[in-house]
Amino acid sequence: MNFYELYLRSFFDGNKDGIGDFKGLNEKLDYFTDLGIDTVWLLPIMTSPAFHGYTISDFFNVNPAYGSIEDLKQLLNNAHKKGLKFILDVPVNHCAVNSEWFQKALNGDSEYTDYFLWANEKTDTDEPRHWGGDKIWHKIKDKYFYGLFGPGSPDLNFENKKLWEEMKNVFKFWLDIGFDGFRLDAAKHIFDYDSENMIFKYQHEKNITFWKEMLSYIKSLKDDAIIVSEVWDDSSVVKKYEGVFEIGFNFPFSYDLKNSVKKESPSDFIKGLKNSMPDYLSEEKEIKTKSGNFLTNHDMTRLVSEMENSQEKAKLALSILYTLPGYPFIYYGEEIGMKGILESVNFTEDGEEPFQWYENGFGPGQTEWKGYKFNPPYSGFSEESEKKEENSMLSHTKKLLKFRKENQWITDSKINIIKENENMIELCIYNGKKNFICIYNFKPFELKIETSSDIIFSAGKTEKNYNSLLLGPYSMVVVAGK
């Protein structure tokens, strides 16, 4: 599967109000099939006071800015006819302050009070969050509530088993609407507070118990449901959740790949590969949770900006992404080289600007909910201009996606490191029946590679001679294995 992370508000406007919506997305389904995408991960679309949708006020309804439930059903039905699948991002760790659950709890409704965590005499209401230093306790009226992700996001208290049943109802509702699975936001945060000692503490075993029950229920409703988890942490923590989820986002891989390409360092890439994908480097190890490989997402600086505005380095990073085992994900707009720098995860809109359909920045369907800070008109990064250019980021990405779709066996393959020096890397990608050699040039100059093998695929400048080939700057080539 080739996944595409989509922020609906910024994609395509179907009702001329400047906000991306279901009708607009329905008009652009062929864009995904033409690009080579087969599964779209839709960021939260539920009713929410927040532009990003991650604080939900009603888990059983859609944001009216995006359209109606019927619009959504029509979208999903048409998508399925085209062979596209859609998974929904569901943040279950917390809800919105204006949600009915939280408002009833504030007003003393005993049925809902235990849906949340409240301060008591043991609580240090000045306790800081372990990243960023923000407070995790927030005062409202005469009470303090626990909200790890900020004062707009009261955490749900999953010590209360009634909430487990509530969340099962949520998953069933969206499967019945027509979704093909879920991306599970903040999966390690379901139990991240020790309510007995009143202190922040990850409780991974409790998290795993919760998710096993949820996933068993989801699979009982739809046995082929696609499940993707977000455990944003280092490899040692991610390892704890191995085998629980079908696909797990590989954050260490993202950082290791970007940093090694930015620094033009093959050795850093190999070191990172051994750290973030060790089981793929071993014949004996069974892959229990498949690696969800990505470069950026809605909480990160965009790829071209991360590569210090080098499109060539960004292309190399994408080339590596689409030739390695696991499932590849691309964030909307990366295929046209959009820019965006996140100074804080509290201000993610800098990485969620409108997708640029037109070179002048405006036209039918163009979203305009946010002004252009990083991707102004006539910047050269638009679908309109890039689809005409053979060497554009869009053409490069389409080529990679087509190759990956034609070689789906890569997903379940293994990696053998053949050669590494200060300039390049050779990897053998193989399974029991197929194999090929990937050669990556990390440098801004041509490399001469000694090989008599035939070229299967190339991304970038490549010139083949009888027993050698010239591999252009930041280029990649796939040759036949032995």
Give me the active site residues, please.
Answer: 185, 230
Cα–Cα nearest to 320, from 418, 479, 407, 439 = 439
Q: What is the dihedral of CA 295, 299, 303, 304, to 10 degrees?
A: 180
Q: What is the DSSP string of 410-426?
A: GGG-EEEEEEE-SSEEE
User: For 28, phi and psi rounded to 5 degrees?
Assistant: -110, 20
Left (φ > 0), alpha (ψ -120 to 50) or beta: where does 170 sit? alpha
Contact 414, 395 (CB under 8 A): no
Spatial distance between the Cα atoms of 335 and 195, rounded to a whole number of angstroms: 45
Placement of tokens 């006539």 in the chain: 378
Contacts of 231 (CB under 8 A, 6+ apart): 187, 188, 237, 238, 241, 248, 249, 251
- List beta partners, residue 172: none
How many CB atoms are closer than 10 A to CB 82? Answer: 11
Contact 437, 418 (CB under 8 A): yes
